[in-house]
Chain A
Amino acid sequence: MIVGASAAGLSTAEALRRQGYQDPITILGAEADPPYDRPPLSKQYLRGDWDADRTRLRPDSMLDALGANFILGDPAISLDVDRRLVRSAAGRELAADAIVIATGLRPRALPDQAGLAGVHVLRTLADAAALRADLSNAPKVVVVGNGVLGVELAATARQLGCAVTLTGRQAAPMESQFGPMVAGLVAQLHTTEGVELHSGTAVTGLTPADGRVTGVQLAGGDHLPAEVVIVAIGSEPVTDWLAGSGLRLDDGVVCDSRCRAADGIYAAGDVARWYHDGQRALLRLENRTNATEQAACVAANIVGESHSYVPVPYFWSDQFVTKIQVHGIQTADAEVTVVEGNPADHRFIAHYRRDDRVIAVLGWNMPKQIRLHKQQYLT
């Protein structure tokens, strides 16, 4: 029984079958759409390069071959841990020998955005479709939030011909992901492409007129006029349906090193906060690769193995024609050195070091080379 029909949920089912699991599998998903991939939503789909069908994780033929019972458009509302029983909004009661929690994330909203036309978040295909429609006549756009998603959305909106302002609390775009040196280069990239930056600023509210957003009010008193506002201020794990279940919920479903939240209950993907034996800490990763890798570990543990999950985290970000890839876990106090290429040529590799050890490697338009650095320094 897998709760969540996105990348982590579907990957768990596929990994179970690959590992010879022959018992029935049920996949319960909150969204009605067949499983689709989220990274293209902020890029290829939003730009109009891909239609919705191209974002699908698997074609019908492969979903059929999986031999799983898909129940879509019916969110889980509670879990009985002792009986291993999930209740759904439509009134279903689904019991199983093993339950995998893969309910992902929900975007945070600004307090005053509810019901205001022209304000968007991006998590689902439906969100992306609504945003795509609203961007079609090249409106003036303000993106609130200068993390990974906000920065990518600013780039895509700009590519669609919109006038774009990117604002956020970080002193430079993606500074918490990349550190100040590389974040400065991200700022430069966006400025060169014509995105206006207001970094290191908090948003105090949205300004409305006749039920439609007219702009964003900044803490310093500035007002940024906008026809469309995209809110990308982070997400929260979807665990409200687990309140009262007895599972430990603390910024996600807390799991042991085997991704086990309780006997016979596992978590995978964005929602899982598990104990990383190598880092000796609880970790929760919001990235695409983790969904697949953690799902494979959970599947192995369900079929009777006992693997601790110790990945080298990996994420990438595509902005304009720049591809940035990071392996490892960088920290704010890491020392950053360019070891290959040159930022001035828009192609380089940087190492992040702490205590004289490489803890992360970053590639800027060097996808083949960064893999070699990962293999050499992080595995």
Chain B
Amino acid sequence: MKIIVDQDKCVASGQCVSSAPDVFDQREDDGIVVLLNDNPPAGLADDVRQAAALCPALVITIVE
């Protein structure tokens, strides 16, 4: 699983961090998404899919 995020579209809702805290974080000052791991282990795949689905700006793309 490879993950791509589009920081320019991010609206800093933090939904991704709530879903998959080992994979996503937010910048301190403006809350924009930070990708901690662009190739997470299979055990986190469901959390990442959940994060991608719940993102209100659809900035997370998963390449399986």
Contact = CB atoms under 8 A, between A and B. Distances in A.
Interface in A265-310: 288-289, 292-293, 296
B44 interface: no
B56 A292 contact: yes
Contact of B31 (A288, A292, A314, A323): A323
A247 B28 CA distance: 47
Interface string A311-348: 00010101000010100000000000000000000000
A21 to B, nearest CB: 14
Contacts of A367: 12-14, 26, 30-32
Chain A interface main SS type: helix
B56 A368 contact: no
Which of the four size classes fits the interface of chain A?
20 to 34
Nearest to B46: A18
A54 B59 CA distance: 11
A197 to B, nearest CB: 26
Contact of B15 (A39, A57, A289, A318): A289
A58 interface: yes
Nearest to A288: B56
A37 interface: yes
Nearest to B54: A292
Contacts, number: 56
A296 B53 contact: yes
Contacts of A354: none
A314 B13 contact: yes
B53 A368 contact: no
Interface in B1-52: 9, 11-15, 17-18, 26-28, 30-32, 49
Contacts of B11: 39, 316, 318
B56 to A, nearest CB: 5
A293 B54 contact: yes
B57 A18 contact: no
A310 to B, nearest CB: 15
A187 B29 CA distance: 24
What's the dominant secondary structure at chain B's contact region?
loop
Given A18-B53, A323-B12, A368 B31 contact: yes
A57 B9 CA distance: 11
Nearest to A321: B30
A15 interface: yes
B57 A37 contact: yes
A14 interface: yes
A368 B11 CA distance: 11
A193 to B, nearest CB: 19
A15 B53 contact: yes
A371 B53 contact: no
Among B11, B27, B54, max chain A CB count under 10 A is at B11
Contacts of A296: 53-54
Interface in A353-379: 366-368, 370-371, 375
B58 A58 contact: yes
Contacts of B32: 367
- Residue among B12, B26, B57 facing the most chain A CB atoms (10 A cut-off): B12
Nearest to B31: A367
Contacts of A371: 13-14, 17-18, 26, 31
Given A37-B58, A58-B58, A292-B53, 11 more contacts: A14-B53, A289-B54, A289-B56, A293-B54, A296-B53, A316-B13, A367-B14, A367-B26, A367-B30, A367-B31, A371-B17
Interface of B: 9, 11-15, 17-18, 26-28, 30-32, 49, 53-54, 56-58
Closest 3 CB pairs of A and B: A367-B31, A371-B14, A367-B12
30 contacts: A15-B53, A18-B49, A18-B53, A37-B58, A39-B11, A39-B57, A54-B9, A57-B58, A288-B56, A289-B15, A292-B53, A292-B54, A292-B56, A296-B54, A314-B13, A316-B11, A316-B12, A318-B11, A323-B30, A323-B31, A367-B13, A367-B14, A367-B26, A367-B31, A367-B32, A368-B14, A368-B27, A370-B14, A371-B17, A371-B18
